[in-house]
Amino acid sequence: MSFELSLNTGTTPNLNLEEAVRHTAEAGLSHIGLWRHLLVDGAEAAAKVVSAAGLSVSSLCRGGFLTAAEPAGQAAALQENRQAIREAAALGTRELIMVVGGLPAAAHVLGGEGERNDRDVAGARARVADRLAELVPFAAEHDVRLVLEPLHPMYAADRAVLSTLEQALDMAAGHPAATVGVVVDTFHVWWDPRLAELIARAGTEGRLASYQVCDFNLPIAADALKSRGMMGDGYVDFASISRWVAEAGYTGPVEVEIFNEQINAQDAALTLATMKQRYNDLVLPSLRGVGSLV
Amino acid sequence: MSFELSLNTGTTPNLNLEEAVRHTAEAGLSHIGLWRHLLVDGAEAAAKVVSAAGLSVSSLCRGGFLTAAEPAGQAAALQENRQAIREAAALGTRELIMVVGGLPAAAHVLGGEGERNDRDVAGARARVADRLAELVPFAAEHDVRLVLEPLHPMYAADRAVLSTLEQALDMAAGHPAATVGVVVDTFHVWWDPRLAELIARAGTEGRLASYQVCDFNLPIAADALKSRGMMGDGYVDFASISRWVAEAGYTGPVEVEIFNEQINAQDAALTLATMKQRYNDLVLPSLRGVGSLV
């Protein structure tokens, strides 16, 4: 089977691991994308909970936050990411989603005007590339792929200095495709005028590791992280993007990851029922339309 | 003189034309960037007010909103933009800033599920290109340049389907550089990983028509349009971007355009004093450092 729908647990933040797994299985899904904070009893125990319910893990969220400027922060980030790599391996997923981090939030540069924000986005990007290179051998040893996630440019300052699929592919380019990939998250990249060609490039280069769907809602939420919406409620053209993803050869699970006050608060069974219907109506036909041809 | 500081009247929304001109002149500035709604007695009368104070108009804001899908909306947009072109000519500025418009807000597509948002971003972009081509001869006749403004991707759905400098330059490419240019607004483009090369390209192609500065603040404001900040208060690397702009050969006025609840509400003299100091401290040295060499 291809294009299996997967619940990313960011969509149901009030559920613990057992609850998220149970809801996912009861909804008839085969995959779940896990956030690390749910692994309270360790990855091995979580792997048993998941497999006992007949599910597979589509991805682990997340590694990253690699922009620290000081040696101590860099060492801590490497240690944290190595742990995330071990957990992904234990969970039986190859895909570790990487949110690379923004300008160092806590870093205050002492200049002529006293403390001010760090604004060296080029420097932060260079440090991400350096840390990534240091993690690649460890990830390869564990047969885990570091999946670079370009985030919407509205998060460039505080969350990810990686803003476009092109930039992610360029950063991945020096490393084996089996070890460094990219994820297409519709919320983050829908606006990119070069999206079609970049998704095709990701496919050609063998780096299209994950497809995450949710909508881009307006107005932007008071907490900008929670502007994501259920497919069909916002402005994303799921038919076009899904077609490009399938044309690029992607056949893996499709995760629904929605940070949204209202959806996150509502009954998880309702969320799962709605996302199944919207996925079947708005996303799957375009994936299958291509998938049946390739 | 080069790199003259200019007040864009979007920074002082509570001032009428006469007040904005008086404050600008009293602050010792030589240029002002006008919004069209200030031209209550027409562009010719406004031109007299501006020149009587010894000022020049650096740009007119704004034309654009070219994404309408229906003939009536398209005709209205063309009429409105022709009027803006006439006004720019009357004001003695060549630069008409163009915010191209988002997905047609009022357009509801009747589909199987009833009314829903228009999500055809590719179609909206094609319509912008078509309307631009229709306006070019009229702009050329009036010796006015249509200055395409790429807006931050957070506004791609509702305000401008033009999101990157590359996209703006590609759209301009078929037209004379004297008639279609681009503006670099730091708020909108600071995050772009290819910004240095794209500003250089804009210079090489003779299309760098305006440089607008303000900062990118966090958190994103409740009204996302008002997330702009005073230079130095946010995350923009003004030294690098200003250097690239000067290296690209730009020597024109530099507008400060800040939509921000607090700044917009405060005393305009304070705003002008602050923006002068921040400009002199954070922007001008990098412009002059290059400017003295070219």
Among the partner-chain residues A116, A122, A153, the one whose CB lies closest to the CB of B153 is A153
Average pLDDT, chain A: 94
pLDDT value of position A104: 87
Question: What is the average per-residue pLDDT within B7-16?
Answer: 98
Give the closest-approach CA distance of A234 to chain B in angstroms: 7
- Is residue A110 very low, low, confident or very high in pLDDT (cuts 50, 70, 90)? very low
Task: Give which of B235, B280, B286 to mutate to test A binding, by max A Cβ within 10 Å.
Answer: B235
Check CB contact under 8 Å for B153 and A154. Answer: yes
pLDDT at A112 over 70: no
Task: Give which of A108, A109, A118, A121 to mutate to test B binding, by max B Cβ within 10 Å.
Answer: A121
Among the partner-chain residues B191, B219, B234, the one whose CB lies closest to the CB of A153 is B191
Chain A residue with minimum CA distance to B222: A222
What does DSSP assign to residue A144?
A: -
pLDDT value of position B290: 81
| Interval B133-167: pLDDT, tens | 999 999 999 999 999 999 999 999 999 999 999 99
Could you tell me what percent of chain A has a pLDDT over 90? 92
pLDDT value of position A1: 65
pLDDT value of position B292: 61
Q: A199 to chain B: which residues are within 8 Å by CB? A: none
Check CB contact under 8 Å for A164 and B193. Answer: yes
Question: What is the average per-residue pLDDT within A207-213?
Answer: 98
Q: A237 to chain B: which residues are within 8 Å by CB? A: 119-122
Check CB contact under 8 Å for A163 and B193. Answer: yes
State whether residue B219 sits within 8 Å of chain A by CB.
yes
Q: B219 to chain A: which residues are within 8 Å by CB? A: 223-224
CA-to-CA distance for A287 and A211, rounded, in angstroms?
Answer: 11
Burial class of B82 by CB neighbour count within 10 A (0 to 12, 13 to 18, 19+): middle
Check CB contact under 8 Å for A117 and B234. Answer: yes
Give residue A76's identity as a one-letter amino acid code.
A
Average pLDDT, chain B: 94
- Is residue A105 very low, low, confident or very high in pLDDT (cuts 50, 70, 90)? low
Q: A103 to chain B: which residues are within 8 Å by CB? A: 235
- For B40-76, give the DSSP string: TT-HHHHHHHHHHTT-EEEEEEEEE-----SHHHHHH
Q: What Rg do the C-alpha atoms of chain A give, in angstroms? A: 18
CA-to-CA distance for A260 and A258, rounded, in angstroms?
Answer: 6
| Interval A10-54: pLDDT, tens | 999 999 999 999 999 999 999 999 999 999 999 999 999 999 999
Q: Which of A114-123, B165-174, B228-237 has the lowest mean pLDDT?
A: A114-123
Q: A194 to chain B: which residues are within 8 Å by CB? A: 166
pLDDT at A92 over 60: yes
Q: Are residues B31 and B4 in contact, defined by beta-carbon separation less than 8 angstroms?
A: yes
- Is residue A195 very low, low, confident or very high in pLDDT (cuts 50, 70, 90)? very high
| Interval B71-123: pLDDT, tens | 999 999 999 999 999 999 999 999 999 999 999 863 443 343 444 578 999 99
pLDDT value of position A279: 98
State whether residue B185 sits within 8 Å of chain A by CB.
no
- Is residue A145 very low, low, confident or very high in pLDDT (cuts 50, 70, 90)? very high
Q: A216 to chain B: which residues are within 8 Å by CB? A: 157
Q: A154 to chain B: which residues are within 8 Å by CB? A: 152-154, 220
Q: Are residues A154 and A188 in contact, defined by beta-carbon separation less than 8 angstroms?
A: no
- Segment holding A241, helix H or strand E: helix A238-247
Q: B240 to chain A: which residues are within 8 Å by CB? A: 122
Class of domain A5-291: alpha beta
- Is residue A267 very low, low, confident or very high in pLDDT (cuts 50, 70, 90)? very high
Question: What is the average per-residue pLDDT within A132-158?
Answer: 98
Q: A192 to chain B: which residues are within 8 Å by CB? A: 153, 163
Q: How far is CA A219 from CA A192, A226, B223, in A?
A: 19, 11, 8
pLDDT at B174 over 80: yes
pLDDT value of position A140: 98
Check CB contact under 8 Å for A103 and B235. Answer: yes
State whether residue B216 sits within 8 Å of chain A by CB.
yes
Question: What is the average per-residue pLDDT within A187-206?
Answer: 98
State whether residue B293 sits within 8 Å of chain A by CB.
no
State whether residue A232 sits within 8 Å of chain B by CB.
yes
Structure tokens at B265: 């509400």
CA-to-CA distance for B106 and A72, rounded, in angstroms?
Answer: 53
Check CB contact under 8 Å for B119 and A236. Answer: yes
Domain boundaries, chain A: 5-291
Chain B residue with minimum CA distance to A126: B193
pLDDT value of position B118: 85
Check CB contact under 8 Å for A153 and B154. Answer: yes
pLDDT value of position A111: 40
Q: Are residues B204 and B174 in contact, defined by beta-carbon separation less than 8 angstroms?
A: no
CA-to-CA distance for B80 and B92, rounded, in angstroms?
Answer: 19
Give the closest-approach CA distance of A40 to chain B in angstroms: 31
Within 8 A by CB and 6+ apart from A122, the residues are B237, B240
Instruction: State phi, psi for B211 to the nearest 5 degrees.
Output: -125, 120
| ipTM of predicted assembly, 2 dp | 0.94
